[in-house]
Amino acid sequence: MSTTASVAAGMRRGILRAPVYVVLVIASVLAVVPFAWMAIASTHATSDLFGTPLPVLPGGELWVNLARLQESVDFSGVMLNSLVIAVIYTVFSSIVSIMCGYGLATYRFRGRGLLLGLVLVTMMIPMQVLLVPLFQMMASAGWIDTYQAVVLPFLANAFGIFLMRQGFLDFPVSLIEAARIDGANEFRTFYRIVLPVARPQIAALVIYTFISQWNAFIWPLLMLNTEDKYTVPVALNTMIGMSRVDYSGLMLGSLLATLPLMLLFLVFQKQFVSGLLGGAVKG
Amino acid sequence: MKRNILPLAVPIAALALLSGCAMGGSAPAAVTLDPDAELSGEITVWSWDVAATALDRLGAQFESDHPGTTVNVVDVGYDNAYDKLSVGLQAGSGLPDVVTIETDRAPGYINEFPTGLVDLTPVLGDAEADFDPFKWSAQSDADGALKVAPWDSGTVGLFFRTDYFEEAGVDPASIETWDDLLAAGETIKQATGHTLLSLDVASGGAFQLLLQQQGQGLFDASGDITITSPEAVEALTLLQTMNERGLLKNVKGWDGRVTSAKDGDSAVTPEAVWWIGTLLGDAPELSGRYGVTELPGFDADGARTSNSGGSGLAVPAQAKNPDLAAAFVEYALADTENQVSMMANEGLFPSYLPALADPYFQEPQEYFGGEPVYELFAEQTANIPPITFTTDNAEASDIVANAVVAAVLNGADPATALQDAAEQIATATGREIAE
């Protein structure tokens, strides 16, 4: 009696869950199909992509497309440019975000709320409003077509600061106080005690910061004026022609451009987990 | 909760001030070109796609003809070149010595930034009669100063599938008017099952093409709205009739049009000469199945062509070396040999009329079954009816596109749809509707 009841209950649960699975399956298909199409399209000639029916299996044009991509936009060169810019930006922007966020969360000083408000308000200024004045500033500094013009204006990232500040709000104050009582100065406390414990949130910040710079398009587009300085998104954009678009090259380029992001995610996922397990406060 | 709002009030007020201030840009002083200037130094040219390839090639040639000069050509990409251009003109700095601007964008930039681009008339003015008249007028300002030098033309012809016409027993040479084409379309549909033409109705582009064929733009020379004219109603009615008779296949966007051409959905494509490049590149397997003839006329002696696309070169007023820049523009565009070489190598169809007399344009084209199709476009380029553009063309185009959808796809009365659109444009732009 009891077994039949539990089987029936199990079935009922299964039936109840069915709609959830249907939704999940649909969502995964929606997420995977564009990516799969990007991979398939990158192995065909562009003219095949306009045919009916659309190709569903990988074709044999991968190396041809790769050679064309390398030749037309110097893909390996622009990948390197993008990496250099993104790494430099991520390192410095993260340092700024972590320190500002820590300061805003743990120190009590006059005007703290106002300062935080100011930081948040910069998030509300639309990019379109900033473009022209920022452009003028960079032009009068003689920085057009340089990497510092790409990196510097956005080094202090309001979202990053806010993200860190929210994270440090929950930081156990007792830990900081303990370090101070033991005679550590402020910098040592920050470096030795706070940073190791904050690893998970820093991993999240690094991933976010890197992706935002890796994908950045409009600002590098405006700043960089010579082909050998282009970043990946700016270079891929030049493959969209007036009356022809090199779709297979674009797809291959976009596919290759996602690889560093995946690598980054894999690396920091580990950090993420070890940070969680490393728990510093006991009892 | 209330207390938390206060700290935000001050920064928000500051933000409001900031964004208000950010709008100002410095207008550069007017630059007057000296046609006899000594040529030396360096210029940078922005272009895209095959156009950049062409200028790069001619740049090297220019350098060896004029020792002591350097021409750097940068491919800035087509899709967002205008973002760079707009910001640079607004900021008054950061632009190179020569930029590429398409014909339909040119009037907007010329009106928006009256001192942003150099008047090229001192260098090119003598050659006015040698250029596609439509390009020259569209790329000059209201006082007749040429701001964007005409480069390539978007002369329109009628591409047709020779195999479908043969199968249906229709002689393409017999098609003189749009009515002829409609009749031919019905015969072809019965015989082959193919529609007459594939169109992205929602873009409104076909309507404007038909309007320009009749010598009209969205506005007349005094800036009044002209889309309620009998010619406009006739153009829209034509598209509506095609759809009602099942001769129209509606496709989405550029990719939809290319796919439709590749699949052979329709028998004809009224499009500019650069469509040849698209066919050669994206539908090489259709070689030998296409022909080109003149666009059908609205009446027996009406214009048999129109314009779609094309571009030009401009010299921003902030250019560091405007005289060398203008000299290079003249070298590349107002020269038969160089224009022909751009046609032969990069497929850019010259707006410079003397170039069109070159034997190159009489050469048979293999893709078109050995027909010398460029000859037809060369003949028709001088016949493209000039029309007037205003700063409001972009906004008006969107409203007109909606009217085209309403009439063609949803069966609204063309005259009413255009009257509604004209009133909307009048409200949005403050312009009058022409009588």
A187 touches chain B (CB under 8 A): no
A118 touches chain B (CB under 8 A): yes
Q: Which residues of A touch B18 (CB under 8 A)?
A: 125, 129
Radius of gyration of chain B (CA): 24
Token output for A49:
């992509």
A22-71 per-position pLDDT tens digit = 999 999 999 999 999 999 999 998 888 887 778 888 888 899 999 999 99
pLDDT at A273: 61
Select from A160, A162, A139 the least CA-distant residue to A149. A139
Q: What number does CATH give the domain B156-307+387-429? A: 3.40.190.10
Comparing CB atoms, the residue among A129, A132, A225 nearest residue B87 is A132
Q: Do A225 and B282 touch (CB under 8 A)?
A: no
Amino acid identity, position A181: I
By mean pLDDT, which of A82-91, B387-396, B416-425 is the weakest?
B387-396
Ordered by start, the domain boundaries in chain A are 2-41, 74-277
Task: Check whether B6 has a pLDDT greater than 50.
Answer: no
3-state secondary structure (DSSP) of residue B203: helix
Select from A5, A141, A154 the least CA-distant residue to A86. A154
Residue A3 pLDDT grade (very low, low, confident, very high; cuts 50, 70, 90):
low
Task: Tell me what percent of the residues of chain A surpass a pLDDT of 90.
Answer: 54
* Cβ atoms of B342 and B58 closer than 8 Å: yes
B201-247 per-position pLDDT tens digit = 998 899 999 999 999 999 998 889 999 999 999 999 999 999 999 99
Task: Check whether B4 has a pLDDT greater than 90.
Answer: no
| Domain spanning B41-154+309-381: CATH 1.20.1600.10 | no
Mean pLDDT of B97-122: 92
Q: Which residues of A touch B104 (CB under 8 A)?
A: none
Task: Check whether A8 has a pLDDT greater than 80.
Answer: no
As a whole number of angstroms, the distance between CA B69 and CA A75 comes to 30
Q: Do B93 and A51 touch (CB under 8 A)?
A: no
User: How distant, in Å, are the alpha carbons of A60, A71, A106, A236, A241 from that of A75?
Assistant: 20, 8, 45, 9, 17
Residue B27 pLDDT grade (very low, low, confident, very high; cuts 50, 70, 90):
low
User: How distant, in Å, are the alpha carbons of A145, B26, B90, B315, B387 from that of B96?
Assistant: 12, 17, 14, 8, 30
Q: Which residue has the tokens 């997420």?
A: A31
Q: Cβ of A234: how many Cβ atoms within 10 Å?
A: 27
A145-178 per-position pLDDT tens digit = 999 999 999 999 999 999 999 989 988 888 888 9
* Cβ atoms of B374 and B273 closer than 8 Å: yes
Closest chain A residue to B50, measured at CA: A241
* Cβ atoms of B343 and B355 closer than 8 Å: yes
As a whole number of angstroms, the distance between CA B196 and CA B248 comes to 6
Q: Which residues of B touch A242 (CB under 8 A)?
A: 48-51, 78, 102, 274, 309, 311
Q: Which residues of B touch A120 (CB under 8 A)?
A: 8, 11
Q: Do B22 and A133 touch (CB under 8 A)?
A: yes
Q: Identify the sign of the CA torsion B122, B102, B223, B90.
A: negative
Task: Check whether A2 has a pLDDT greater than 60.
Answer: no
pLDDT at B325: 96
3-state secondary structure (DSSP) of residue B290: strand
Chain region(s) in chain B for CATH 3.40.190.10: 41-154+309-381, 156-307+387-429
A137 touches chain B (CB under 8 A): no
Question: What is the least distance, in Å, from the CA of B155 to any CA of chain A?
Answer: 15
As a whole number of angstroms, the distance between CA A153 and CA A140 comes to 14
Closest chain B residue to A50, measured at CA: B259
pLDDT at B282: 85
Q: Cβ of B432: how many Cβ atoms within 10 Å?
A: 12
Q: Which residues of A touch B26 (CB under 8 A)?
A: 136
A238 touches chain B (CB under 8 A): yes
pLDDT at B29: 63
Q: Which residue has the tokens 């020269």?
A: B335
Comparing CB atoms, the residue among B15, B84, B274 nearest residue A121 is B15
Task: Check whether B332 has a pLDDT greater than 80.
Answer: yes
> DSSP for B409-434?
TT---HHHHHHHHHHHHHHHH-PPBP
Amino acid identity, position A169: L
Mean pLDDT of A206-233: 93
**What are B371's strand-pairing partners?**
B365
As a whole number of angstroms, the distance between CA A221 and CA B81 comes to 9
By mean pLDDT, which of A22-26, A121-125, B14-18, B79-83 is the weakest?
B14-18
Select from A129, A135, A165 the least CA-distant residue to A150. A135
Cis preceding-peptide flag for A53 (omega within 30 of 0): yes
Residue B25 pLDDT grade (very low, low, confident, very high; cuts 50, 70, 90):
very low
Task: Check whether B418 has a pLDDT greater than 90.
Answer: yes
Select from B350, B381, B382, B378 the least CA-distant residue to B363. B378
Question: What is the least distance, in Å, from the CA of B264 to any CA of chain A?
Answer: 10
Comparing CB atoms, the residue among B25, B262, B282 nearest residue A244 is B282
3-state secondary structure (DSSP) of residue B101: strand
Mean pLDDT of B258-281: 92
By mean pLDDT, which of A74-88, A242-256, B17-31 is the weakest?
B17-31
Give me the CATH topology for the region A74-277.
MetI-like fold (1.10.3720)
Comparing CB atoms, the residue among B10, B14, B282 nearest residue A47 is B282
A-B contacts (CB, under 8 Å) = 129
Q: Which residues of A touch B15 (CB under 8 A)?
A: 121, 124-125
**What are B158's strand-pairing partners?**
B270, B293
Q: Do B18 and A125 touch (CB under 8 A)?
A: yes
B33-44 per-position pLDDT tens digit = 888 888 899 999
Closest chain A residue to B102, measured at CA: A242
* Mean pLDDT, chain B, whole residue set: 90
Token output for A266:
């894999």
* Mean pLDDT, chain A, whole residue set: 88
Q: Do A132 and B90 touch (CB under 8 A)?
A: yes
Q: Do B50 and A226 touch (CB under 8 A)?
A: no
By mean pLDDT, which of A40-44, B14-18, B261-265, B423-427 is the weakest?
B14-18
* Cβ atoms of B184 and B170 closer than 8 Å: yes
Comparing CB atoms, the residue among B25, B75, B102 nearest residue A238 is B75
Reported as type and span, the H/E element at residue A233 is: helix A232-237
Question: What is the least distance, in Å, from the CA of A55 to any CA of chain B?
Answer: 13
Token output for A269:
């996922």
B162-196 per-position pLDDT tens digit = 999 999 999 999 999 999 999 999 999 999 999 99
Comparing CB atoms, the residue among B11, B96, B281 nearest residue A118 is B11
Question: What is the least distance, in Å, from the CA of B311 to any CA of chain A?
Answer: 10
Q: Do A50 and B25 touch (CB under 8 A)?
A: no
Task: Tell me what percent of the residues of chain A surpass a pLDDT of 70.
Answer: 93
Reported as type and span, the H/E element at residue B328 is: helix B322-333
Q: Which residues of B touch A129 (CB under 8 A)?
A: 18-19, 22
Q: What are phi and psi of A143, to 5 degrees?
A: -105, 0
pLDDT at A173: 86
Q: A 15-54 residues with CB below 8 A of B?
A: 46-47, 50-52
Select from B183, B230, B247, B236 the least CA-distant residue to B209. B236
> DSSP for B128-193?
GGGB-HHHHHHTB-TTS-B-EEEEEEEEEEEEEEHHHHHHHT--GGG--BHHHHHHHHHHHHHHH-
Comparing CB atoms, the residue among B51, B93, B254 nearest residue A139 is B93
